[in-house]
Amino acid sequence: MSKVVVVVGSQWGDEGKGKIVDCLAGKADLVARFQGGHNAGHTVVINDRQFILHLVPSGILHPGKLCIVGNGVVIEPDALIKEIDALRKEGIAVDENLRISKSAHVIMPYHMAIEKVKEESRGDRKIGTTGRGIGPSYMDKISRSGIRIVDLLWPEVFREKLDSNLEEINFILDRKYGADVLDADEIYDRYMGYSVLLKDYIDDTDIIVNRYIDEGRNVLFEGAQGALLDVDHGTYPYVTSSSPSAGGACTGLGVGPTRIDDVLGIVKAYTTRVGGGPLPTELKDELGERIRARGGEYGATTGRPRRCGWLDLVVLRHSARINGLTGLIITKLDILDELDSIKVCVAYRYGGRVIEDFPKELEILRNCEPIFEEVQGWKTNTAGITEFKLLPEKAKDYIRLIEGKLDVPVDIISTGQKRDELIMIRSHFTGP
């Protein structure tokens, strides 16, 4: 009997999903990415070799796994081709083990151009986008003017859509922003070159994924970013343009919700986020800098420093609810090893009232006061520990506190960057 597992970020992304998906992929037959673009990066360390993946699922690092880039992903062809080439240079096979959905939308040069000028025009109201065209590509998708990866295989169709879109985009770039316009012929020639390199990967991935489930195979779905960046359920407008929560796995891969068995939420042992937007437990002091330095909290894609704060259980209760989490995976526990005491946010105080459910209003999030419970630190090295019983008692207490407050069991604890540095409390796939 197959097992279908979805792995999602439970905070603002950067929770360490790459390593966890890599670990779970060992017993999966298929690993599929269901949303986002090359603005997200998954870092995996294997035998002191570091791999940073942006579009290709982490399962590619395991021989014999079929990797799917689903229809919910937006693809910048040049970035994908460079990623494939980089993997091959490292001795990683990328051929028939990678399939790309025909329905995945393509990021075009005009998406990147328009995003950059719009973000710059916001001044102090910048959202903090990466300027990689993710949002505008999703906008075109929703407005039914997008270009899908399958269109690259139909040159006349592609040219017609390109010319139509560029007519409007060039008008906006020129007249509104005074920016350089783009050349249709140059873009057409370049993207036709991409089509030659990518055509053998393009397939009906929804059919493939459902067939694997029908055949009783183990299937793993991975999202990018985190639930608090979900366009519907996150800190809007400081969000991404897709659905990193578990529901995005269904629409982003063409799989019905009744086929999913487990939803695992990755939780960093503290809280981080990149870019603008509220972060109620943010530490704007030496301790925040210390956690950032010890945790290496810099974006895998952009290198931007991440804002750091204490663990926020108001955020995690919201995430557990909207994702229907069946298990938690705690990462970077070892980063807290040196602290004398650790704070955990259990509620917010705003306008004289206590708030336990995550508010939708940015005004509240920006001005609320976190209510903390303080626990003793364990002051003992946990890096590399692989059995729960070997953790310091106070570290166990911290894990149990999280489980108790969220009413969701902790299934896995990561104790370092390397593939084997984790505690497996509950396994999710059967087989060798």
Which of the residues are catalytic? 14, 42
Q: How far apart are CA 18 and CA 9, in angstroms?
A: 10
Rg, the chain, Cα only: 22
Q: How far is CA 246 from CA 35, 243, 361, in A?
A: 10, 8, 23
Mention every residue, 6+ apart, whose C-beta is less than 8 A from residue 387: 423
Token pair recorded at residue 226:
């985190």
How remote is the C-alpha of 211 from its chain's centroid? Answer: 25
Question: 423 with 415: CB under 8 angstroms?
Answer: yes
How many residues in total does the chain contain? Answer: 432
Question: 411 with 426: CB under 8 angstroms?
Answer: yes
Q: How far apart are CA 361 and CA 309, in angstroms?
A: 20
Question: 58 with 7: CB under 8 angstroms?
Answer: no
Q: How far apart are CA 217 and CA 318, in angstroms?
A: 31
Greatest alpha-carbon span in the chain:
66
Q: How far apart are CA 392 and CA 396, in angstroms?
A: 6
Alpha helix segments (H runs only) across 254-370 = 286-295, 313-323, 362-367
How remote is the C-alpha of 78 from its chain's centroid? Answer: 20
Q: How far apart are CA 96 and CA 66, in angstroms?
A: 8
Q: How far is CA 341 from CA 258, 283, 313, 344, in A?
A: 43, 14, 17, 10
Closest CA to 99 of 212, 251, 205: 205
Closest CA to 190 of 88, 108, 102: 108
The verdict on whether omega for the bond into residue 237 sits within 30 degrees of 0, i.e. cis, is yes
Q: How far apart are CA 104 and CA 26, in angstroms?
A: 26
Token pair recorded at residue 199:
């055509």
